[in-house]
Amino acid sequence: AVSPGGTAAGPGAVAEPRPTPEPRARARREELLAAAVRLFHQRGFDNVSTDQLGAAVGISGPSVYRHFDSKAELLAASLVRSRERLWHEVDGAIAAAAGPGAALDAGLGAYVDFALRNGDYLGAMLSETERLAPPDRRAAVDFRRDFLRTWVGLLRQVRPGYDAAAARIRVHALFALVNDGVRNRPHNARPDLGDCLLRLGRAVLGLS
């Protein structure tokens, strides 16, 4: 499969790379990225302080700045990391499948599985992208566009009767179904939620 944007940079950052941190600092940085996604989704970017971010990983608020220059940089980095993981999991499943039909099924399964484990990221992506600085916002929008293009291309191979507009509508509907399904209570507590989303997702795509 082709990486989003068709460049070596993939779905990643637009900022200049930092020097590689020590293992302990890398681990703390990863903890902050995970905490940031969760808190930004649950409370909103403007309602989360650096003290709250630090407390979530057991450090003081000012210590956050040892790892990120600003709260805005932390938001951008947390969304980049989540996009990387989403692309890695879903693209990996698609690339390993034999044929468009199997690839679409594998991609759907991988996306539902990712969503079930990463509802906070999906929520933050939807609600906080507009808080990003323009270059980071463009990178996020480009990722969504390229991710959508991959799915639309697969769906049109499986269902050649769909024109581009019909395929885009179905893929958008699929993402809305899954994203809302894993984030909205009380439905997201269902033990069979994953199976329900797979069945409904196939129906939305016109595969059942």
Checking if the pLDDT of 3 tops 70, the result is: no
Note whether residue 5 is domain-resident: no
Residue recorded with tokens 């637009």: 14
CATH code: domain of residue 151: 1.10.357.10
Give, as one character, the DSSP assignment of residue 69. S
Distance between alpha carbon 91 and the CA centroid of its chain, in Å? 12
Residue 20's pLDDT is 55
Q: Which residue has the tokens 């209570």?
A: 185
Q: Residue 19: pLDDT band by 50, 70, 90 thresholds?
A: low
pLDDT of 8 higher than 90 = no
Does residue 1 form part of some domain? no
Domain count, the chain: 1
102: in domain = yes
pLDDT tens digits, 82-124: 899 999 999 999 999 999 999 999 999 999 999 999 989 888 9
Is the residue at 196 inside a domain? yes
Residues with Cβ < 8 Å from 145, sequence gap 6 or more? none
Q: Tell me what the mean pLDDT of segment 40-54 comes to.
A: 94
Q: Does some domain include residue 32?
A: yes
Q: Decide if 4 is inside a domain.
A: no
Q: What is the mean pLDDT of residues 5-32?
A: 64
Average pLDDT (40-64) is 94
pLDDT category, 4, cuts 50, 70, 90? very low
- Domain coverage including residue 42: 16-205
**Domain membership flag for residue 160:** yes
| pLDDT tens-digit map of 177-189 | 999 999 887 877 8
Higher-pLDDT residue of 39 and 1 is 39
**Is 35 contained in some domain?**
yes
pTM: 0.82
Task: Round to whole Å and give the CA distance between 144 and 104.
Answer: 17
Q: What is the pLDDT of residue 7?
A: 36
At 116-152, the pLDDT tens digits run 999 898 889 888 999 999 999 999 999 999 999 999 9
Q: Residue 88: which of 12, 185, 197, 170 has the closest Cα?
A: 12
